[in-house]
Amino acid sequence: MQKKIFITYTILILIGIILTGLLPLNFVRTSYVKNIENKLTTNANLINQFVKEKAEEISFEHIDFSQYANEYAEQIDARVTFINKMGKVIGDSEIGQKRLSEIESHLYRPEVKKALKGEVGKSKRWSTTTEMDYIYIAVPIKIGDEIYGVTRLAFPLTEMKKLNYKLFENTLVAAFCGLLVTTVLGYRFVNSVTRPIKEITRTAKRIANGSFGDKVYIKSNDEIGILADTFNIMSEKLNETISEIQDKNTKLQSILASMNEALFAVDKSYKIILINPVAMELFHVEDENVYGKHILEVVRNNKLHDVLMDIIYNKNVGEREITIDYPEVKILKIYTNFIRLDMDPNRIIGVMALIQDVTEMRKLENMRTEFVANVSHELKTPLTSISGFIETLKNGAMDNEKVRNRFLDIIDIETERLTRLIDDLLTLSAIENHKLAKKRDEIIIKEIIREMNMMVQALAKQKSITYSTELEANLPPIYGNRDLFKQMILNLVENAIKYTPKNGQVKVLSYKRYDHIFIVVKDTGIGIPKEHIPRLFERFYRVDKARSRKVGGTGLGLAIVKHIVFSFDGDIKVNSKLGKGSEFIVKIPIIE
């Protein structure tokens, strides 16, 4: 800005100096030419007066105009030419008398033509005769009322050109000196004016870069001082406003980030104006710069878009539940409401949506319903059997010892089955509520398997099943509930023996890989169909219900195993081929 002002100031000063110099130069030149013309006119009139006097003594034709042209030319320092009324030169101070006949007719020269009409003729032009620029003044020679010819005086413009050059030279010197002085003074003046503006500009840049509250320190009583004071007030207000906005934005972001539910808002064009991290995670949104984008660009879910369209066009806000299949199958409960302007509540600018992921809740509700149904069924079957046999005994079978003993044995078996079912339910409930997983016993895997072997070998022998173990030496201990760990392995081994036919094999392996202990239970049993494996660890889920009840299973064994494994922060995997056997792999991290 300083450079621009300085250049503009310098150009204006230069233009002013040039105009100031050219106007006097033109005035002097014009005055000089006017003075020359007046002088020539006066001299021409005096010469004509002499010619009239001579013409009274002798005739006009007998006057020696060449002689008089030379005499008068010396006296007035100008070229003198006499021309008759036919346009013929009859005397010239620059041309000898003998050469006069060679001169072309001057009848059509502009100053001569005007003089022959009785007026004073004036002209400036190049003379082909003398090859010089002249000012020509032509005055008619009148004797009486008759014009006999023209006296023309010519003054060379050489002197005037010299004068013009001298004046122009002086004007340039004056312009240079004036420009030099005004440039120095102007630079100081411009610098004094632009310095506070530069300071305001620098401070404005710092504010634009985030240094809110910066001020300028300028002492001035003019408009610049008022501007500086106003700028400082604006900076202070801006700092307060930005701080307030940042504080509100921080609180808003903290609230949004701490919410457990997904929240987003769109305007009437379905462009996102607000979204919290939970919503971004729910819809797998990785791009953080989503504000201003269409909801379908970000979420890519037509069902959600249809819900928003229904809300905006039909004004149908409230609560609804939808199932989406992208990016994964989820059940969402959506609470919606309009976004209205504070100043104009009747104006709707968008829609706010609060989304709860109720997939797990619905799944748990289904599981609970199924669990209640399964428990009711599992309890009802033995109770019905017991109730029926008791009723039969009451109706007379009590007197038949053989029938009575057989019925009492069945009642005893069903009672044991109920006891096992209740025990498994209580164990599962305790594990799920972390009542049994809090213990931190040191568990030596070899000791647990040795104790378990004593319990399962008899069961394996009954079915002629080959039971064996293969344990890696120097297995490190793990920590947790010892009884639960033992029950986990026992359940897996008992399951393997139950579902392995006679003369089969069951093997338990344990080894360390990296920072994990692996426990593998392998059998050559009936195997598990591939489609049943994902649901294998659900409570009361049976691949073959009739066979499971026949071998005395409660349907909770693998569910208990899964929860015990999870209590050790472990993982369990199943490999199985129908008719060839199964392999259960438990992986438990080693925690010092």
CA distance 486 to 474: 19
Of the candidate ranges 300-314, 325-339, 422-436, 450-464, the one whose mean pLDDT is the lowest: 422-436
Residue 554 backbone dihedrals phi, psi, to 5 degrees: -95, -10
pLDDT in tens, 130-189: 677 788 899 998 888 888 889 988 888 776 677 677 777 777 777 777 777 777 776 676
Helix ranges restricted to H, 273-358: 277-282, 295-298, 302-314
Strands 581-589 and 516-523: antiparallel
* Rounded (10°) angle between helices 65-76 and 2-57: 140
99 vs 372: CA distance, rounded Å: 148
Q: Looking at residue 438, what is its pLDDT?
A: 62
Kindly report, residue by residue over 289-315, the tens digit of the pLDDT: 888 888 878 777 777 777 777 777 777
Q: pLDDT tier at 547 (50, 70, 90 boundaries)? A: very low
Whole-number pLDDT of residue 237 = 83
Query: How large is the greatest C-alpha to C-alpha distance in the chain, in angstroms?
Result: 201
**Overall pTM > 0.85:** no
Query: Which has the minimum average pLDDT: 226-235, 453-462, 516-525?
Result: 226-235
CB 151 within 8 A of CB 141: yes
Sequence-distant contacts of 29-36: CB under 8 A, at least 24 apart: 29/160, 29/163, 29/164, 29/167, 32/160, 32/163, 33/135, 33/160, 36/135, 36/155, 36/160
Q: How many CA atoms lie within 13 A of 167 on its CB side?
A: 19
Residue 511: pLDDT band with limits 50, 70, 90: very high
Element (H, E) at 413: helix 401-432
Whether residue 583 is predicted with pLDDT greater than 90 in this model: the reply is: yes
The amino acid at 476: P
Residue 222: exposure state from Cβ atoms within 10 A (0-12, 13-18, ≥19): exposed
413 or 436: which leads in pLDDT: 413
**Confidence (pLDDT) at 471:** 92
User: CA-to-CA distance for 287 and 42, rounded, in angstroms?
Assistant: 100
∠ CA(25), CA(28), CA(33), 5° rounding? 125
| pLDDT confidence of residue 231 | 76
Express as a percent the part of the chain with pLDDT over 70. 81
Q: Which two tokens stand for residue 47?
A: 């010469």
Confidence of residue 417 (pLDDT cuts 50, 70, 90): low
Asked if the model's pLDDT at residue 546 lies above 50, the reply is no
Tracing tokens 């070899």 back to the chain, one arrives at 446
Does the pLDDT of residue 586 top 60, yes or no? yes
Q: For the segment 3-15, what is each residue's pLDDT rounded down to a tens digit?
A: 666 577 667 776 7
Pairing of strands 466-471, 505-513: parallel
State how far the Cα of 123 lies from the Cα of 561, in Å rounded to an integer: 129
**DSSP reduced 3-state for 561:** helix
Token pair, residue 371, equals 């669990």
The span from the CA of 591 to the CA of 569, in Å, is: 10
**Mean pLDDT across the chain, nearest whole number?**
79
Q: What does the pLDDT look like over 202-225, one tens digit per residue?
A: 777 877 777 777 777 777 777 777
pLDDT at 181: 75
More confident residue, 188 or 40: 40
Q: What's the pLDDT tens digit per position in 58-73? A: 878 878 888 888 888 8
Cα 193 from Cα 2, distance rounded (Å)? 8
Residue 557 has pLDDT above 80, yes or no: no
Tell me which of 141 and 557 has the higher pLDDT.
Answer: 141
Least confident of 98-102, 494-498, 502-506: 98-102
SS3 126: strand
* 270, 308 contact by CB (below 8 A): yes
CB 567 within 8 A of CB 431: yes
> What angle (nearest 5°) sits at the alpha carbon of residue 30, between those of residues 24 and 32?
100
Please count the CA atoms within 13 angstroms of the CA of 357 that sit on its side-chain side: 16
SS3 percent helix, strand, coil of the chain, rounded to 5, is 55, 20, 25
What pLDDT sits at residue 280? 85
Is the pLDDT at 432 greater than 70? The verdict is no
CA distance 486 to 476: 16
| Residue, of 466 and 553, whose pLDDT is higher | 466
User: Residue 89, SS3?
Assistant: strand
Structural domains of the chain ordered from first start: 2-163 (3.30.450.20), 259-357 (3.30.450.20), 362-430 (1.10.287.130), 437-589 (3.30.565.10)
- Residue that wins the pLDDT comparison between 556 and 85: 85
Contact at 8 Å (CB) between 243 and 212? yes
pLDDT at 35 over 80: yes
**pLDDT tens digits along 246-280:** 888 888 788 877 888 888 888 888 888 888 888 88
Q: Is the dihedral of CA 446, 450, 455, 460 positive or negative?
A: positive
Computed from CA positions of residues 63, 66, 71, 75, in that sequence, does the dihedral angle turn out positive or negative? positive
What kind and span of H or E run contains 570? Answer: none
| Residue 435 predicted with pLDDT over 60 | no
Report the length, in residues, of the chain. 592
DSSP state of 157: S
